[in-house]
Each structure stands twice: as C-alpha cells, then as structure tokens.
Amino acid sequence: MPRLKVNERESGQRLDRFLKRTLPRMPMGHIFKLIRTRKVRVNGKRAAAGRLLQAGDEVLLHISEQQFASERRVVERRASSLDFEVRYEDEDLLVVSKPPFLPVHPGAGHPDNSLIDQVHAYLEVARAGDDLRPALVHRLDRDTSGLLLIGKNYAAVRRLGDMFKQGRIAKYYLALCRGVPRPPRGTWEFAVARRDDAGRPRGKAPAAGRTSYRVASRRQLHDQGRVVCQVSLLVLRLHTGRTHQIRSHLLQAGHPLGGDRRYGDREFNRLLTRRFDLRRQFLHAYRLRLEHPLSGKPLELVDPYPDDLQVMTRALHLGIPPA
C-alpha cells in the first residue's frame, strides 16, 4: 500500500487537498469516500478531510499500487511554443512577462498552449510524482501584457495567496486613456460591472472595486495635421482584484482605455489603430513590488513595453515611469 511522507513545502495543507494534488485523476467524491471509509490513515490513525498536515506526517492509502499509479498520472496538455520571457526565477518563485493575445489558462477556442501549459513545459513538471504543479496566483486578461507570479510549490502558492489577500503585493499597470483625469492623482471607487464582447452588461451584480491612479504623461494626439484629442499615460494600482476592474473604472471615470473593444470608445480606437496599428487594449502590467514569499527578500520587478506597443510609445515619447 502506498505511503506518502509530508515534506516542509506541503505542510499546512488539508488532507483532502493533499490527496487531490497527489492523485489528480481521482474525483473528489472518491477521495472523500476513501477518507470516510477509513482507507486513509495519518500516522496510523483515522483522520478527517479537513485535518491540517504537518511536515513528517505519514499518509497511508489502502489502495493498490496499480491504482495509485493510475490515479497519479497527469494528463499533459501540449505546449507548442514558449512565448513568455522570464523576469525572475528561483526554487520557489517564477515571474514571467506574458505577451498579449496569450490566455493564461486553456479555454474555449484555445484548448492548449496557454501560458500555464507553456510554464509547465518550461519547468518540465507535467509528470507523475510532482508534489504540486506550479500555479498562477493571479491572472491577466488575454489581451493584457505584463508580469505574472507563479508559485513553484505549495508553500509558495499558499503564501502568495495570503499576501494578495493582505494587500502585501503591489501591482502597477500602465494604461493609455482618452483625455486627462482630474485631479491628476487620486482613487476611483466604483462598482465593477462586467460587459460582454458586444458591450452589454453580463454576469453577477457589480462588485465594489478600488483603483489608485496617477497621470504620468499627457500628450496631444494629431490626425491629418490637427489636434484630435488629448491622451494620458496612467500609472494604476489595483487594491481589489475584480475582473476587468481597470477597464470598467476608466470607462466610468470618463477616460476610456485605448484599444479596448468592450469598454472603450470606437472612434478613439479606430484612430489609434490607424495611427499606431494598435490591435488590442493599451494595458500593461509593468511593475511588481513584494517580499519573497518564503525568504522575505524585497523584490521589485519592472517589465518594459512589449513589441506591439513600441510604435505608439516611441511616437508619443512615452517612457517607463516610476510607480
């Protein structure tokens, strides 16, 4: 019968979640049945699903070695390319720069080669026997570029999740919007109402969101020899993590995000496409500040503009501002 030893990085997990990570192909219902029927023992004794495991604990499974091997096998999705760039890496943490147009997880219309598939291929972890497959601890929209945090083990993922909840990870974005917000520095607190591709309201009732902003640069936008409008490069910090929060807040503030097809202004978007070949929203997660989740070492990472924004940033002389 399989015997599993809990290591330091797995310490603090619930028993049921530890088993699910160990046996990814086994349905949760079967895992609960094993626990309920006393086919799982911790240090020789019966244990509840919610028991928190400690380093050194021994988990005994009353199943065959053949079944254990079968349930532990991971079904690997394909990664046909590695499109991200590594900005920081150690044994616990990976920080990557996600390019635009790459979804972070598989979904409709993109069943494989997502960012997380590529990360797994890069780290060569899609094998049976891994304690925990590396996991994203936050997300970016498909058309948003920039920095993403990935925990390489359970301890790092758990600690990063706690740090996000406590507001101890600062995420900064660069956004180009129409007009100039007044005052030039402030905080928006609006409900975040999501929209579908046609711009119609969708999903659940709006949830409150909080975003700090600062006008880093302002420029006049010319077309055919005349000034069409002013634009601003904003530094934005999220204090809550609602889906589409920045895009919704910019719209409600009266300064729609350039290139945003759901929350933006069509005429403004057409102008940016014609002038600068902008094919997506101008939103880039450019800076992260945090303490290392395990060592406590201060980290500050900055990501330069991706290639597809270079035409506009050079034409408008938009550098990388401080946070």
The set of catalytic residues is: 141
- Please answer whether residues 121 and 82 qualify as being in contact, where contact means their C-beta atoms are separated by less than 8 angstroms: yes
CA–CA separation, 323 and 100 (whole Å): 22
CA–CA separation, 139 and 252 (whole Å): 23
Q: What share of the chain is helix, strand, coil (3-state, %, to 5)?
A: 25, 30, 45
CA–CA separation, 181 and 185 (whole Å): 8
Closest among 28, 9, 15 to 58, alpha carbons compared: 15
Query: Rounded to the nearest 10 degrees, how much is the dihedral formed by the CA atoms of 35, 39, 43, 49?
Result: 0
Q: Within 13 Å and on the Cβ side, how many CA atoms surround 24? A: 14
| Residue 316 backbone dihedrals phi, psi, to 5 degrees | -100, 5
